Structure 1
Amino acid sequence: MTRKKRRDLTLITDELHSELAREATSFIAIGALLTEARGQLNHGEWLPWLEEHFSESTSTAENYMAAARFAAKFPIVTNLKLRPTALYRLGRALDDLDDPFNDRKTIKAILKAAETGWVSVHRAHTIADALRPPEPEPSPAGVETEADELQDDVEEILAGPPPELPPAPEATVHDVILPSFDQAVATLAHLQTKPMASFVATTHDPDRISDVIIFLQEVAVAIQNRKAAA
């Protein structure tokens, strides 16, 4: 008895991949045709037409159409290892902006994974969950966070009467006089650089100027004494 020659496993694997790719292309093409037909039917005609011309269930037709929508947007799927269930799920997500699968980063990660290995709907969910940002941990029951306490303080302040403001401090003689003195000294220091002829026409008599000089000398002595005592 002649034994049947065994084919190389690599060849078998390649043929299997080709058939699976044709299968994916087939239901994508069917979905595209169904979508096109539905677009030409009036309201109420779709389900009767589908029952007459499509041997599978309505949900299968919807899955095929979802796959076709996704493939139209991402044509590369026909060359990837995406299982039909994953393709259906991705296609349905295109109609819902809040669907976690309708996220470009998630789609990109799923398609990338399908370049090297088969991605089922379960694996697609695993990839999407891994990319989802973690939710903040709730505070333990009965324990307020710092933000909660701050919010409580703000609400208490807003709900109560306005707080009494402290009285404004009265201006002292020191506060009023010292700025004028500092300004006068700064002005005199600046005028020291000018020629004496610029001041001989002043309206102040020499005695008045001498009194100012004596006053400044007394202030200088007082400042020196204060520094020495410090």
Structure 2
Amino acid sequence: MLELKNINTFYGNIQALYDVSLKVGHGEIVTLIGANGAGKSTTLMSICGATPPRTGEILFEGKPISGAKPNDIVSMGISQVPEGRLIFPDLTIMENLDMGAFLRNDKDGIKRDLDYVFGLFPILAERRKQAGGTLSGGEQQMLAISRAIMARPRLLLLDEPSLGLAPIIIRQIFDIVAKINETGTTVFLVEQNANLALKTAHRGYVMENGRIIMEDTSEKLLANEEVKKAYLGM
């Protein structure tokens, strides 16, 4: 579904990604793990067009998207849940969800997807008229995921969904991510919590200083001694 071929991304003259190549297959959950500042978020920003790579190629379902505008990438079927959630704090839950569906005009489909996200996160349904900024961190993460789903993506990009959340909420969020994947949405997950990410994903990549240094099934990465020592605290 998604393929990155030797992408190099810069912020001005500072290079952040070095020849990054990876693949995400239809129906998979693939995770990208690494330390803070390794380049994980830049990888997602490169995919969604916010920080396009200077060289290399990004393919979505076989078509190049490297130079496409972010709104066009969303319309192709890719949605991102950004690091820090970045909901619209002054808008209500319903208004945030409406923003997620801004490229759509299929009213019946939007209604079905609204029922779907309210089924995933009933608390959002209960508080639909509440301003997003008054929600807890966990509830805001639920809203950010729901807003992305309202665009009806075939590929969902998740950037650090566990950031700043209590362990019980993190577990709930990751259970929902698995459920979203089971209903047919492919997921590319960037996460510092390597243990939970690898236990949720089918495959994983390890990034260090803007480079992919390892890739394997999640099971094998969890058993890898280098990964254990560097990322799992073992």
Q: Structure 1 or 2: larger helix share? A: 1
Q: Which one has the largest radius of gyration?
A: 1
Q: TM-score range by the shorter chain?
A: under 0.3
Higher relative contact order (CA 8 A, sep 6+): 2
TM-score (norm 1): 0.21
TM-score (norm 2): 0.20
